[in-house]
Amino acid sequence: MATGNTAPVGAPQELSGVVVGWEHRNFARNIHLTVQSASKSKLTPDMVDTHHLLMTRSQAFLLARYLMQLSGLERPAPRRRGFFARWFG
C-alpha cells in the first residue's frame, strides 16, 4: 500500500540530515566535494550517507559566499606582510 510520503519511481529524492564531515579535491578545473551526513544523533558507520558533488569553481565560490552570508561571518582580513617581507620581498 502506498503512503502519501512515498515518491514515485524515478522521482528525485529530497534528503535531510546533519552534516558530519566533508572533504574536497581539485578535479581538473572543477571541485569534487564529498559531504557526509546522518539523520540520527547516535551514529554508527553504516548510518552515515556519503554524497559526491562535482561543481565548477564558480559554483563553489557562490556556495561559499552564500554560506558565509547566511552564517553572519565575514571573510578573514588578509594578514599584513611582515617587516622583512615588505623590505626584501
pLDDT, tens only, 13-44: 777 888 889 999 998 899 999 999 888 777 77
Q: Which domain holds residue 60?
A: 18-70
Confirm whether 31 is domain-assigned: yes
The answer to whether the beta carbons of residues 34 and 22 sit under 8 Å apart is: yes
The answer to whether the beta carbons of residues 32 and 54 sit under 8 Å apart is: yes
| Closest to 17 (Cα-Cα) out of 36, 41, 37, 47 | 37
Tally of domains in the chain: 1
pLDDT at 83 over 70: yes
Q: What is the pTM of this model?
A: 0.63
Query: Does residue 2 sit in helix, strand or coil?
Result: coil
Q: Grade residue 52 by pLDDT with cuts at 50, 70 and 90.
A: very high
Look-up: residue for cell 500500500? 1
pLDDT at 1 over 50: no
Confirm whether 26 is domain-assigned: yes
Confirm whether 2 is domain-assigned: no
Q: What number is the average pLDDT over the span 33-57?
A: 87
DSSP H or E run through 38: strand 30-38
Look-up: residue for cell 553504516? 46
